[in-house]
Amino acid sequence: MSPIVKRIHSDQELPAKADVVVIGGGIIGATAAFFLAERGLSVALVEKGHVGGEQSSRNWGWCRRQNRDARELPLSGIALQAWDEFAAKIGEDVGFRRCGLLYATDNPQQLAEWEAWRELARPFDVNTKMLSAKEAAAAIPAKGRQWLGGVHSIDDGKGEPAIAAPTIANGARKFGATIHQECAARGLELVNGAVAGVITEKGLIRTQAVLCAGGAWTSMFCRQYGVLFPQASVRQTALRTRPTANLGEAIYTPECALTRRLDGSYTLAISGRAMLDITPQGIRYARWFMPMFLMRLKAVQIGIGGSFFHGPEAFARWNSDTTSPFERMRVLDPAPSRRTMAAILKGVTKQFPALKGIEIADSWGAYVDCTPDAVPVISPADVKGLYIAAGGSGHGFGLGPGIGRLAADLVANDTPCVDPSPFRLSRFVDGSKVKVGGI
């Protein structure tokens, strides 16, 4: 079942032309549309379902620099600053709060990894503090646990997935962007190998610049034009409680993660626990994902199901005159795993007795789109005028405004806000070693 997400209206008329067409109304597409429109370009955002309907409303909302790969640290600073500024620029709360994030563990190896990460992050001016066993116990008083230590990432925060992408897309509209929902992009019109338009189910928009920010569907869309984007999705599960006792804003323990929402409810989940469905796309890109798969073997369950035949990783053929796979599945809404739900509730109620008997308002599944190195792709593709911004790899919500900002810089041919080379698509084919990033 889909989680609650704010609904925004669509613009009636599809524009005949635009400086830029953004495909996909998740956090990346919405923020890219915002930054492009803010600098005076005409922008049309097309979304096959409703804005924020897929990953961007299904996540925990953690917006962090903590535990990020060094390649992402400069961009994560840009992202947090953008989160800070949206409310004033848009005139509406997007739900972001700099509440700090708390982590505790009794696993010595995990604690050592957090400690080592601080060294890596030192040149990037990240405000984070290691917690002693006593400090961790005071910060996260979990029943029956003796923490070895923890981390307080002081300047990090959390956003509100139920409202962020729709509110930011509406903000883009204030700068002149148009928003078109239930309007799938079926393909591109190419002239002499360069983008000349986007063919949507509602008609053609002429443009010379397209940003594909289609989340889990990006690889399938781009493959039509011979663009190879190794992408794989894993299925995760989360729950939402009804408003309840306040245990803290954002808490990580090895058995559960709790994130308090603005209405006093909690999003509950387990970090890293995922299902990997075998799919035609998964088989196609298996060799790129082998290093990550081997690293995360213990946390991943393998399965086979409907996603082999339907959805972003299925085998599909279509042409621009007929219904595309994007229209056949307006919202990617996999079932939550009952086993994971039970494990989450067990972990939460055992450690936090105040939540015993907690009422669950909602539960959902979601596909997390990943790249082989867990670093997003923000890059031109090998088709003139086509750009890609996708592959959030389970941490693209917090980084989303940074990804959107860098994508806008590249599309508009402005000076990039950070060095874009770590995010180039060609790293997967130019002989570079795949180094799986982050913790």
Ligand X SMILES: Cc1cc2nc3c(=O)[nH]c(=O)nc-3n(C[C@H](O)[C@H](O)[C@H](O)COP(=O)(O)OP(=O)(O)OC[C@H]3O[C@@H](n4cnc5c(N)ncnc54)[C@H](O)[C@@H]3O)c2cc1C
Residues in touch with ligand X (CB under 6 A): 23-29, 46-49, 53-56, 58-62, 184-185, 213-217, 221, 236, 238, 269, 326, 366, 368, 390, 392, 394-400
Q: How far apart (Å, rounded) are the C-alpha atoms in residues 285 and 27?
A: 25
CB of 118 to ligand X, least distance (A): 20
CA angle 356, 357, 360 (to 5 degrees): 115
Q: Terminal CA-to-CA distance of the chain, rounded, Å? A: 29
- Cα 230 from chain centroid (whole Å): 16
CB of 313 to ligand X, least distance (A): 13
CB of 274 to ligand X, least distance (A): 9
Q: How far apart (Å, rounded) are the C-alpha atoms in residues 116 and 12?
A: 53
CB of 341 to ligand X, least distance (A): 12
Alpha-carbon distances, residue 49 vs 92, 151, 330, 372, 385 (angstroms): 23, 39, 4, 27, 24
Q: Which of 378, 369, 372, 371 is nearest to 422 (CA)?
A: 378
State which residue, 149 or 214, has the beta carbon closest to ligand X. 214
Q: How far apart (Å, rounded) are the C-alpha atoms in residues 144 and 125?
A: 35
Q: Which amino acid is at 91?
A: G
CB of 194 to ligand X, least distance (A): 20
Contact by Cβ (8 Å): 104, 139: yes
Q: How far apart (Å, rounded) are the C-alpha atoms in residues 298 and 291?
A: 13
CB of 146 to ligand X, least distance (A): 27
CB of 181 to ligand X, least distance (A): 9
Extended strands (E) in 278-392: 300-303, 360-370, 377-380, 386-390
DSSP β-ladder status, 386-390 and 210-212:
parallel
Q: Which of 72, 179, 434, 142 is nearest to 287 (CA)?
A: 434
Alpha-carbon distances, residue 160 vs 103, 244, 266, 399, 410 (angstroms): 20, 17, 11, 14, 27
CB of 248 to ligand X, least distance (A): 15
State which residue, 81 or 132, has the beta carbon closest to ligand X. 81
**Which of the 8 DSSP states describes residue 384?**
B
CB of 211 to ligand X, least distance (A): 11
Percent helix, strand, coil in the chain, to 5, is 30, 25, 45
CB of 253 to ligand X, least distance (A): 15
CB of 344 to ligand X, least distance (A): 11
Q: b/e for 65-79, b at 16 or more Cβ within 10 A? A: bbbbbebbbbbbbbb
CB atoms within 10 A of CB 421: 11
Location of structure tokens 């909690």: 266
State which residue, 24 or 282, has the beta carbon closest to ligand X. 24
**Which of the 8 DSSP states describes residue 401?**
H
